[in-house]
Structure 1
C-alpha cells in the first residue's frame, strides 16, 4: 500500500493501528520479525545502497591543434578590437588638434596633451604687428649639450605643446619627430610637442631675441645638473672606461665600464646597476680624499663580494686580504643579494660589524660567515695574535631607515655611507641607527645630484678612451 494512501486512511480514521500492525509495516508491506532486529552486513559500500552509477557519455578531449586554433582566433579578435579603438583615438586626437588654432582669444590651458601620431597641424602664425599676448614666449632646447638652444616659440598648453616662430639651428632634431617633420626647420609654423624640462622661460619681460651674441650665450647657459640630465637622456654619452684612484678598493688599475643606460638610471627611483653603485662609491671616496678622511675609511669592491660576480673562494680571499693588509678604521661593503643592495660596515677599532638593510632582512648566512672570518683574520694581523686568541666580532643589526615600496635600496646604502663619513663615525653603535623612518625626498635627491654631477665630472675629464 502506498504511504499516501495509508496517511489518508489514518487521517480520516479508517485505519486504526493495532499492536505490530502499525503504519510502518503497512506502508512497507512487510510484517515485523519477532525477537530480532533486521540489519545489514558490516561492510556495505555506496553501490550496495544506491546501486551502480549511471552511465555517462565520456567527455571528448580537446586536441593540441584545436587549442592552438582557438587561441589564434581569440588573438585575432583582440587585435581587431584594439585596432578599432586605436583608430578611434587617433581620429579624436586629430579633431582636437585641428580645432586648437592660434587665435587672439584668451587661452585656457588643457590638463591633457593630445597630439597627432602622423604629423603636426599647420597653423597660421600671427603677424609681427598683431602678436599673441595670451601665449607666453619661450626658448626651446634639445637633448644635446652642444646644440642646447635651437628655437624660440610660444607655449600653447600648460604642459609641452608649442608653436615654433623663430629658428636658431635649422638641422636640430625635434624631440617628437614625425614622418614629415624631423628638424626644427621643418616644425616652424606648426604645433609640436616639447618636453617641459627642455622649455626655458625668458629671464625678463622683454621679447626674446637672438640678435646679439651675448644674449645667445646667456640664454644657452645651463646649470651643471641640467647638463647631466641632457647627457643622460640625450643618448650622446658613448660607452667608456673610467679608472678609479689608487687604493680605492685595494685593487691596482681598477676600472669601471659605463654606458648611457647607467646615467639615466641615476635619474629614476629604480634598481641601480653594479656600475652605478661603483660610481657612487668613487664619488664618496673622492669626498674622503678631499677631506683627508681616506686614512680612516675604505671600501670593499662590490664585484668581489657578490656571489654572482665571483666564486666563494675568490670572495673570501679578497675580503681576508683587504681587511688584514689595510690600515683603515672602517671598511664599507655594499652587498648585492637577490637584486637588493645592503650595507656592511667593518669597525676594526671595536671589532664589530654593522649590517643595515632598508627592507629589514637578515644577512645571507654564507656572507655572514665570510664577514666573520675576514674580520677575525684582519684583527689577527692588526693585534699580532693567533687566530685562536681573536674574539668573534660583535654584530650590530638595528632597525634602520626603512625604504617605502620603491626600488631605492641603492640610494639608501649610499646615503648611509655619506652620513657616516660626514659625521666622522668610527665606533658604531646600534643607537646611532635605530631610526626606521624613511629618508626624506630631499636626502635622496641630494645623493642623486652628487652622484650625477660626479658622473658628469668624469665625463668632462675623460673625453676619449685611450
Structure 2
C-alpha cells in the first residue's frame, strides 16, 4: 500500500457531493498531495487524480484510509481571530483548519434531539462561506441554524420558533427516519418551524406556521416540494398531535404554498447579503475562538 495523500476523514458523513455513501466508503478531503498524478480509487466525472482532488471532497474506500503521523508537527498556541472583521478572519481560519477540522458540539436544544457526532467544520466549508459565491455545505447551514436559534432566544421568542436539522431530513434518509424526526420536532409545540432542505446541490427552505396551518416553500429554481418531504410532513403533524394527547378529529390538512417571489429579476440587495455573511462569519469565528 502506497501513501498518495494526506487528508481528513469525515466518519460521520453519509453523503458526498449529493451521493449516498456505501458502508465501505468514507468522505475525505485531500489536504496534502504526496503523489499528485496518482489515480484516485473512486473517480468522478471531474476528479481522476490526487492533484484534481486537492482541497476538495471525494469518496474513498475505507480500507485504503489509514492514520498517519507527522513527527515534524508540533503543538502551537492558538491565536484568537478578530471578530471585528470576521470575513477576513475566515480566510485565516480556512488555513488553520487545513490540518484539522473544527468540532462543534451538536446542540440538542436547537434541533430537539441529541447526537453523539459533533458538527465538523473544515477548511472547504469556510472557504465556501468566505467566497460569497459558492454553494454551502450542510455543516454551514447547521451552524447558521444554531446561530438563528440563539438570536430567537435573545429576543425572548424561543417558544415561538423551531429549527429542523437539514441532515435529519436529507433526501438520502429513508421515509421512516425523516418521519420520526419530524414527529419529535413538531412535538415541541413551536408556532413556526424552519426546515432548510437540500435537493441534489440546491438549497431550499420550508417555513411552517403550525397555528395558521400552512407551509411556505421557497425555491429559487421554482421546483415543487419533494414528494417524500411532503408526505413526511403530512404524516408527522397528526402523529405528533396524537402523541401529545391532542385530538385530530377537526384538524385540517396543512396547506402548501409555493412563493413566487423569485420570478422577479431583481437580485437580493448586496447590503443584505453582506449583513448575513458577516453575521455567520462572526458566529463561526467566535466558535473557533472559544474552542
3-state SS of the aligned residue for 1:317? helix
Whole-Å separation in 2 of the counterparts to 1:329 and 1:358:
25
Q: In structure 2, what is the equivalent of residue 336 of structure 1?
A: 198
Does the C-alpha gap of structure 1 residues 344 and 383 become closer, same or farther in structure 2, counting only changes over 3 Å?
farther
Q: In structure 2, what is the equivalent of residue 451 of structure 1?
A: 280
Q: Is the 8 A contact 1:376 1:391 kept in 2?
A: no
Q: Which segments of 5 or more consecutive residues in structure 2 lack a partner in the other structure?
A: 1-77
Whole-Å separation in 2 of the counterparts to 1:221 and 1:314:
38
Q: In structure 2, what is the equivalent of residue 229 of structure 1?
A: 91
Q: In structure 2, what is the equivalent of residue 288 of structure 1?
A: 152
Q: Is the 8 A contact 1:331 1:346 kept in 2?
A: yes
Q: Which segments of 5 or more consecutive residues in structure 1 lack a partner in the other structure?
A: 1-144, 149-219, 403-434
3-state SS of the aligned residue for 2:120? strand
1:355 aligned onto 2:212: no
Aligned pairs (5 A) from 1:167-178: none
Q: Is the 8 A contact 1:244 1:282 kept in 2?
A: no
3-state SS of the aligned residue for 2:262? coil
Q: In structure 1, what is the equivalent of residue 30 of structure 2?
A: none
Aligned pairs (5 A) from 1:42-121: none
Q: Deviations over 1:185-215 (max 9, x none)?
A: xxxxxxxxxxxxxxxxxxxxxxxxxxxxxxx
- Counterpart selection for 2:128 from 238, 254, 265: 265
Q: Is the 8 A contact 2:163 2:194 kept in 1?
A: yes
3-state SS of the aligned residue for 1:438? coil
Does the C-alpha gap of structure 1 residues 349 and 227 become closer, same or farther in structure 2, counting only changes over 3 Å?
same
Does the C-alpha gap of structure 1 residues 349 and 436 become closer, same or farther in structure 2, counting only changes over 3 Å?
farther
Cα deviation, residue 445, structure 1: 1.5
Q: Please give the TM-score of this superposition, normalised by the length of structure 1.
A: 0.42
Q: In structure 1, what is the equivalent of residue 105 of structure 2?
A: 243
Whole-Å separation in 1 of the counterparts to 2:126 and 2:174:
29
Q: Which has the larger radius of gyration?
A: 1
Q: In structure 2, what is the equivalent of residue 372 of structure 1?
A: 234
Whole-Å separation in 2 of the counterparts to 1:235 and 1:250:
29
Whole-Å separation in 2 of the counterparts to 1:304 and 1:221:
31
Q: Is the 8 A contact 2:87 2:130 kept in 1?
A: no
3-state SS of the aligned residue for 1:439? coil
1:299 aligned onto 2:202: no
Whole-Å separation in 1 of the counterparts to 2:140 and 2:86:
19
Cα deviation, residue 298, structure 1: 0.7
Higher RCO (Cα < 8 Å, 6 or more apart): 2
Whole-Å separation in 1 of the counterparts to 2:107 and 2:84:
29
Give the number of equivalent residue pairs. Answer: 212
Q: Please give the TM-score of this superposition, normalised by the length of structure 2.
A: 0.65
Whole-Å separation in 1 of the counterparts to 2:122 and 2:142:
13
Cα deviation, residue 281, structure 1: 0.9
Q: In structure 2, what is the equivalent of residue 390 of structure 1?
A: 251
1:440 aligned onto 2:264: no
Name the one with the larger helix percent.
1
Q: Deviations over 1:268-326 (max 9, x none)?
A: 21111111111111111111122211111011111110122x22211111112211x21
Q: In structure 2, what is the equivalent of residue 400 of structure 1?
A: 261
